[in-house]
Structure 1
Amino acid sequence: MTFAPARRDYVGFTVTSSQDVIFDNVTIHHAGGMGILGENCHNVTIQNSAVTPSGNRYISTTADATHFVNCTGEINLVNNLFENQKDDATNIHGIYAMVDALIDDKTIEVRVQHPHQYGYQFIDKGDTLELVQGPSMITYGLNKVAGVEQISKEITRVVFEKVLDQRFKVGDSVAEIRDYPDVLIKGNTIRRNRARGMLLNCRGKTIVEDNYFHSPGAAILFEGDANFWFEQGGVSDVVIRNNTFDNSVFGVWGNSVLDVAAGISKEYQDTARYNKNILVEGNTFNVYDKGLILDLFSVDGLIFRKNKIVKTNAYPERKIEKEFFNVQYSDNVVIEDNNQFIGF
């Protein structure tokens, strides 16, 4: 049993509005928050490094080992150890801000919603923002920023160059359209932590290969919502290959080993497709029962093929209602050539 404070204020390293940053052979034994937090950065690499507790300690960082917000260029996590942190190994995403007021046909006020985002600056003159319908996560269109005024740590007034889409209303959201980073996650070990393995919500090319995952929740979660965390997601090109997923989802942090979700209201589930183009190939899934390996919601385009699924005795078997695969409100999903069900 471990006890923790309510706040996660003290990051090991905060890197803001910087470029070409490399962490090489760095060990973080403890931080009272994230291990490494990158915000508005271009090209960040973490390699040959570790987040691991020292001595007889049980806890390393009290939040994510690494975390990236509104970054560009490249994000590389290569040959690292992430263990015993109280949240995920990484979370890569953008930011949604909710429309708080419509001032005129070109002017709005937006409010960052989650307390962890207060004071975060991500809108500048000249930026292009996507205008997003909150309940569906569907983008109405794009509009360029003509002017910005910071009203408070929560509220920003934004003036656009063009007249706003007439469908846009209070309660919808905006997010920055940018040069989404390409992400490489290769050769890492993720284990012994509290929550999930990785939250991957970047629209650039994302490759996850040759990693080892042993996490109590989902090893990989694709998400995004404009109703709680307000984290911009919606992947568009992901390859997950040659990884070992070792008896994940033995806790409560997820429905499946690979969990694809989105904060979409029921009335839009038939039409909204938030995450796209995911290839899962050549991986090994060590599982202790027939619980879910894939849980898909609002996906357009996923291929799951040539993966090996091996039965273990690592944990007691659960009462299973849906075995291995659950696909809801999704299109173009292919599950094939996964005939190596060993031990069942």
Structure 2
Amino acid sequence: MRLIEREEPGAFIWESKNVTMRSMSAYYLQTFGVVGQFSENISIDKVNFAPDPRSGRSTASFADFVRMSGIKGKVSITGSVFDGPHDDPINIHGTYLEVAGKPGLATLSLAYRHPQTAGFPQFSPGDEVEFVDKLTMSPLLGAHAVVAVVDGPSGMNHTKPLTTMTVTLDRPVPPGVEIGGTVAENITATPSVLVSGNVFRNVPTRGVLVTTRKPVLITGNRFDGMSMPSVYISANAYQWYESGAVSDVTIRGNAFTRPSGPVILVEPTNQVLDPTNPVHHGISVEDNKFDVGDVTVVDAKSVGGFQFTGDTVRRLDGPAHPPYTSPLFKFHGSSDIRIERNHYDKGLNPAVVTD
């Protein structure tokens, strides 16, 4: 029922600075929606991402509404409506490149591994790179270096291979960097994020995907009837290669109604779990309202420092419903978890499952 080849974006923000979209209606965005790439400071305010009610359409995009990749500065998305995409309304991330070769003492060959990712320069001279072990998703010791020279695709032509590049660093390649076992992230091109006062509805996928090490605030939004997690934090080095780890995420004062579970999902792709060395840090879920059925509210993997405080959790169909089977909280390979000062429906058991 849709075109699955994402050949072009509806709008493209490329190598630009201080871009604002305000007071607009995006009735139809062929294939991808609004894509921002290697730009700085992007604001989307009071934009209606929804089909024209006179059109008879039920969808406004065949993929994400808003995808921000490799952005500097700040991404601000406020006061907007996200209604009827065919993929995630908001996805903010970087890109992991896999180490494919070591042609020199300070030189690496890097490769895009997802088949739909190619053609753009992931690094510029002066950018800082961090090397991450694919199994643990943890940075290597001495993992940072500065890019001195890049030889690869420009984003503007086809004169060079589109899926590989050669990067020369300002120092020898750090110990532990392995071909096929290490990925590289551009940590200069990572934004702080504000997602505030938006409405998400009629969404068959996730709501807000965000993976950035800078501060993230998701506040005052309404997520209604989401088919998958309303907020999803990953860091993926095996399928989508979307980076990276978070260190300061606040989810505050939102309303989650009729969600499918888990409502908040933290799921990095590390295959080795170590609670003393988690992938993500500093996630706070506070003062939100969850009106849920038989679903898990939080399912978090490999998080150090997770707080769930001052929240209200209610069952939609009341105490006459048969016994619920889903624990409200699941934690895997995580540590320093605080669940306190919350309000639950009378008789609701705030069960916590940890491993």
Same fold? TM cut 0.5 = yes
Unaligned runs of 5+ in 1: 250-254
Query: Counterpart of 2:215?
Result: 205
1:77 pairs with 2:77? yes
Q: Could you tell me which of 325, 335, 339 is aligned with 2:339?
A: 335
3-state SS in 2 of match to 1:101: strand
Counterpart code for 2:65? A
Alpha-carbon distance between aligned partners in 1 of 2:189 and 2:120, rounded to the nearest angstrom: 19
Alpha-carbon distance between aligned partners in 1 of 2:18 and 2:275, rounded to the nearest angstrom: 42
Alpha-carbon distance between aligned partners in 2 of 1:270 and 1:131, rounded to the nearest angstrom: 20
Alpha-carbon distance between aligned partners in 1 of 2:216 and 2:346, rounded to the nearest angstrom: 29
Q: CA deviation at 1:149?
A: 1.1
Alpha-carbon distance between aligned partners in 2 of 1:342 and 1:42, rounded to the nearest angstrom: 48
Contact conserved, 1:35 with 1:51, CA < 8 A, in 2?
A: no
Alpha-carbon distance between aligned partners in 1 of 2:76 and 2:175, rounded to the nearest angstrom: 40
Of stretches 133-142 and 187-196 in structure 1, the one that deviates more from structure 2 is 133-142
3-state SS in 2 of match to 1:221: strand
Q: Could you tell me which of 238, 261, 264 is aligned with 1:258?
A: 264
1:275 pairs with 2:263? no
Contact conserved, 1:284 with 1:309, CA < 8 A, in 2?
A: yes
Alpha-carbon distance between aligned partners in 2 of 1:257 and 1:204, rounded to the nearest angstrom: 23
Alpha-carbon distance between aligned partners in 2 of 1:305 and 1:287, rounded to the nearest angstrom: 17
RMSD of equivalent CA atoms: 1.8
Residues 1:149 and 1:244: Cα distance change in structure 2 (over 3 Å): same
1:12 pairs with 2:10? yes
Alpha-carbon distance between aligned partners in 1 of 2:220 and 2:185, rounded to the nearest angstrom: 32
Contact conserved, 2:32 with 2:63, CA < 8 A, in 1?
A: yes
Query: Counterpart of 1:36?
Result: 34
Cα distance per residue 1:1-36 (max 9 Å; x no partner): xx1122122311100110110100111111222221
Cα distance per residue 1:46-97 (max 9 Å; x no partner): 0111110122111111111101011011111110000110111101111110
3-state SS in 2 of match to 1:136: coil
Q: Could you tell me which of 174, 186, 191 is aligned with 1:176?
A: 186
Residues 1:282 and 1:342: Cα distance change in structure 2 (over 3 Å): farther
Counterpart code for 2:57? R
Counterpart code for 1:199? L
3-state SS in 2 of match to 1:190: strand
1:310 pairs with 2:295? no
Counterpart code for 1:154? T
Aligned length: 333
Alpha-carbon distance between aligned partners in 2 of 1:190 and 1:279, rounded to the nearest angstrom: 21
Q: CA deviation at 1:342?
A: 5.3
Alpha-carbon distance between aligned partners in 1 of 2:203 and 2:306, rounded to the nearest angstrom: 28
Alpha-carbon distance between aligned partners in 1 of 2:322 and 2:178, rounded to the nearest angstrom: 45
Counterpart code for 1:234? A
Contact conserved, 2:276 with 2:335, CA < 8 A, in 1?
A: no
Alpha-carbon distance between aligned partners in 2 of 1:5 and 1:300, rounded to the nearest angstrom: 40
Q: CA deviation at 1:343?
A: 7.7
Query: Counterpart of 2:156?
Result: none
Alpha-carbon distance between aligned partners in 2 of 1:81 and 1:313, rounded to the nearest angstrom: 27
Cα distance per residue 1:175-231 (max 9 Å; x no partner): 112163221111100010110111011211111111000210000000011111111
Note the 1:45-84 alignment, pairs <5 A: 45-54=43-52, 55-84=55-84
Contact conserved, 1:247 with 1:288, CA < 8 A, in 2?
A: yes
Residues 1:343 and 1:196: Cα distance change in structure 2 (over 3 Å): farther
3-state SS in 2 of match to 1:117: coil
Q: CA deviation at 1:159?
A: 1.3
Alpha-carbon distance between aligned partners in 2 of 1:10 and 1:179, rounded to the nearest angstrom: 22
Q: Could you tell me which of 153, 170, 175 is aligned with 1:161?
A: 170
Residues 1:318 and 1:261: Cα distance change in structure 2 (over 3 Å): farther
Alpha-carbon distance between aligned partners in 2 of 1:156 and 1:143, rounded to the nearest angstrom: 17
Alpha-carbon distance between aligned partners in 1 of 2:41 and 2:124, rounded to the nearest angstrom: 20
Cα distance per residue 1:275-334 (max 9 Å; x no partner): 111111110001012x210001000111101111111139xx899654100011001110
Alpha-carbon distance between aligned partners in 1 of 2:324 and 2:290, rounded to the nearest angstrom: 17
Contact conserved, 1:12 with 1:28, CA < 8 A, in 2?
A: no
Residues 1:270 and 1:308: Cα distance change in structure 2 (over 3 Å): closer
